[in-house]
Amino acid sequence: MGQQMKTPALIELDTTSSIWEKFFTVFPLVVIGTRESDGSNDLAPKHLAMPMSWSNHFGFVCTPRHNTWQNIKRTGQFTVSYMRPTQTVLASLAASPRCDDGSKPITQSLPTFAAQKIDASFVTDGYLFLECELQQMVDNLGENSLIIGRIIAAQVAEDAFRASDQDDADLLLSAPLLAYLYPGRFAEVSNSNQLPFPAGFKR
């Protein structure tokens, strides 16, 4: 029989409202790129974002009120730029509110480059860049939707590429990752340890 552990002190949370502001959780910080109906770029930071399968699918949470959701619904495509810790300010600027006329001038000031296979742009100073075609939208998650895309093109910065002749710990030291600590903080991840998987573990 396993050793009995003392039950930790717990605080009951009220699930009739959002619980996520009552503690910190770790997320990536990505910028989703879409094309506006007038042909301009829309760039929006998202943190509820992750791979959706071991195959090449990527998903993130958005609300139908946002231009990002509306642009993807219209065009069926989007880009994903994974930001570096040094580019936190750029990602934050992408969250600037729109003007009264619906425009977001700051977006046009961010450094970008064009995707290869779809009509949208990336933020230049990221480390991982995904081009996605819309596969499905899962609606009615409260006021949000889960947008899932199929990755049709991907590029990674040379200094962030896992090479067989380099130790993973050294890679993260030289190319740290950005972690968004919701709500409202961030951290640079450079020190890491090997996870002790059990013998015979397979994904």
Average pLDDT in the chain: 89
Q: Using DSSP, state whether 14 is helix, strand or coil.
A: coil
Rounded-to-integer distance, Cα 150 and Cα 59, Å: 9
- Domains of the chain, residue spans: 26-189
Note the Cα 199 to chain centre separation in Å: 32
Q: Choose among 92, 95, 153, 94: nearest CA to 119.
A: 153
Strands (E), the chain: 25-27, 30-35, 41-46, 49-51, 57-62, 77-83, 112-114, 121-123, 126-141, 144-156, 177-182, 185-189
Q: How far is CA 44 from CA 4, 114, 118, 121, 171, in A?
A: 47, 16, 17, 11, 28
Residue 15 confidence (pLDDT) = 96
Q: Percent of the chain having pLDDT more than 70?
A: 88
Q: Would you say 147 and 34 are in contact if contact means Cβ atoms under 8 Å apart?
A: no
Cα separation, 88 vs 176, whole angstroms: 13
Tell me: the pLDDT tens digits for 69-107? 999 999 999 999 999 998 876 666 655 565 555 556 666
The pLDDT tens digits for 125-161 are 899 999 999 999 999 999 999 999 999 999 999 999 9
What average pLDDT does the segment 182-201 reach?
87
CATH assignment, 26-189: 2.30.110.10
Bridge partners, 180 (sequence order): 27, 186
First to last CA, the chain: 28
pTM score, whole prediction: 0.89
Cβ count within 10 A of residue 110: 20
